[in-house]
Amino acid sequence: MILANSVRVAFMRTAVVIVAAGSGSRAARDGEAPKQYRRLGDRPVLAHTIAAFLADPAIDSVVVAIHPDHGDLYRRTVAHLADDPRLLPPVLGGATRQSSVRAGLDALAQSPPDRVLVHDAARPFVTPAVIDRTLDGLDAADGTLAAVAIVDTLKRTDAAARIVETIPRNHVHAAQTPQGFRFAALAAAHARAAAAGRDDFTDDAAVAEWAGLDVRVVAGDPANVKLTTNADFDGAEARMTIDRFAALADVRVGTGYDVHALVPGDHVTLCGVVVPHQSRLDGHSDADVALHALTDAILGALGDGDIGAHFPPTDQRWRGCDSAVFLHDALARLARRGGMLAHVDVTIVAEAPKIGPHREAMRARLAELCACALDRVAVKATTNEKLGFVGRREGIAALATATIRLPLRTCPEREI
Task: Give 142 or 258: the residue with its C-beta nearer to Mg ion.
Answer: 258
Provide the H-helix boundaries in 150-225.
183-195, 204-210
Least Å distance, CB 284 to Mg ion, is 8
Q: Considering only the stretches 56-64, 155-163, 284-292, 366-374, report the one whose residues sit in contact with Mg ion under the rule CB under 5 A.
A: 284-292
Query: Interior CA angle at 23 toward 18 and 28, to 5°?
Result: 130
CB-nearer residue toward Mg ion: 121 or 299: 299
Among 258, 286, 345, 351, binds Mg ion (CB under 5 A): 258
Least distance (Å) between residue 258 CB and Mg ion: 4
Binding mask 214-253 for Mg ion (x = CB under 5 A): ----------------------------------------
Binding mask 331-370 for Mg ion (x = CB under 5 A): ----------------------------------------
Residue 268 to residues 126, 190, 280, 358, 385, Cα–Cα distance (Å): 50, 66, 5, 12, 20
Backbone angles phi, psi at 307, to 5 degrees: -60, -35
- Shortest distance in whole angstroms from residue 345 CB to Mg ion: 18
Q: Is 292 a binder of Mg ion (CB under 5 A)?
A: yes
Tell me the three state secondary structure of residue 148.
Answer: strand
Question: Measured from the CB atom, is 146 or 397 closer to Mg ion?
Answer: 397
Per DSSP, which regions of 121-182 are E strands?
143-149, 154-157, 163-167, 173-182
Region of 39-47, 239-247, 254-262, 391-399 interacting with Mg ion (CB under 5 A): 254-262
Q: Are 116 and 15 in contact (CB under 8 A)?
A: yes
The one-letter amino acid code at 186 reads L
Piece in contact with Mg ion (CB under 5 A), picked from 26-34, 147-155, 200-208, 285-293: 285-293
Rounded to whole angstroms, the Cα distance separating 387 from 395 reads 12
- In whole angstroms, give the CA distance from residue 397 to residue 416: 37
Instruction: Determine the size of the site formed for Mg ion (CB under 5 A).
Output: 2
Residues that bind Mg ion (CB under 5 A): 258, 292
